[in-house]
Amino acid sequence: MNILGLIFSNIHNKELFEVTRRRTIASTPIGGRYRLIDFALSNMVNYNITRIGIVTKHNYQSLMDHIGSGKDWDLARKNGGIVILPPFGVSADFYNTRLEALKSIISFINSSRADYVVLTDCYAVANLDYRDIFNQHFATGADITFVYRECDVTPDDYMPVNVLTLDDDGRITNMSIYQTFAGHAKVSADTWVMKKSLLQSLVLDAINRNLRSFNRDIISHNLDVLKVYGYRFDGYFGNISSLDSYYKINMKLLDPKVRAELFQQPRRPIYTKVHDSAPTKYGVAAEITNSLVADGCEIEGRVENSVIFRGAKIGKNAVVKNSILMQNTYVADGAVLDHVITDKNVKIINKKEIIGDENRLAYIVKDGVV
């Protein structure tokens, strides 16, 4: 069985927050050494999906640098492999919805020899088992399988949110799309499985009728015609849509149970770009407590409840607490950081104390010097 994977790197407007102003959501750093797209890519590769298209729109230079040839995911292949699909046209606003994006890449879909297609966004931190999803898809005889989660939704979660109603057999009977929503519900995880031929016919119909919304115009209006079933995902699902949710999910990774659920699943590792950095060097007076520290760092101060990315340098008597320091951040001797997020290549050399809190995080832009 041949399967085509399609990953949407930035579809929603709410993706635009501090960390994503100069990068797509797909290339957002997470957990000290990963990018968000690593989860979507690894989930597919772990089910032997080896033909993957990444649908881009703008700010995807860092994504291309991270993906490279795809060799770190075993996708550097003569047949199949990974393909970056830039927007078709001269305007960055050529498409604004998932369906419009699918229209722009229909020739790529048509040229694939796949029997089935998996479509997914990449704003989430989750380890999906596509083996189980496809087994259910075949067992139910579904035309389309939605991955969903039953959870409490807050206004800070990803919006718009698709709330699903299922019958006793797991078939989706109604889908309501809310721009804002709060409460307990069965919510789409923005991952779908279907036959390639069905996707082709749906997109062709959308082109002929000038439809724009994949969920509203295609799925919701065809629930009586198509057999659309839900697959309930009960694992950890980190939903990133704001600076606050970005911070909270990184902090969640300090929990050994969450890390085990994401990174220690049998036969389902999460791959990322290999840097071959030297091991982290700890000074004699260094103190590390409940933190994730990537390779290639130099730490001589104190680190508590923090996520430290590759190549960070923390000087003598410096204190970093409840913070996220991205790649190559430099913290001078004696500086104190609390509830701070630094983007890549930040230098803390002049200001000796930067203090935020859970309600007002301090964020320093890429290449910033303070």
The per-residue pLDDT for 89 is: 47
Give the model's confidence band at 67: pLDDT under 50 very low, under 70 low, under 90 confident, else very high. Answer: very high
Structure tokens at 337: 């950081």
Q: Where are the domains of the chain?
A: 3-263, 281-364
13 exposed, middle or buried (CB, 10 Å; 0-12, 13-18, 19+)? exposed
Task: Say if CB 174 and CB 223 are below 8 A apart.
Answer: yes
Task: Say if CB 53 and CB 7 are below 8 A apart.
Answer: yes
CATH superfamily of 281-364: Hexapeptide repeat proteins (2.160.10.10)
Which range of 91-105, 127-141, 200-214 scores highest in mean pLDDT? It is: 127-141
The string of pLDDT tens digits covering residues 268-318 is: 999 999 988 899 999 999 999 999 999 999 999 999 999 999 999 999 999
Return the residue matching tokens 């036969």: 267
Instruction: State the CATH architecture for 3-263.
Output: Alpha-Beta Complex (3.90)
Report the pLDDT averaged over residues 137-146.
97
The per-residue pLDDT for 293 is: 97
Spatial separation of the C-alpha atoms in residues 128 and 41, rounded to whole Å: 11
3-263 matches 281-364 in fold:
no
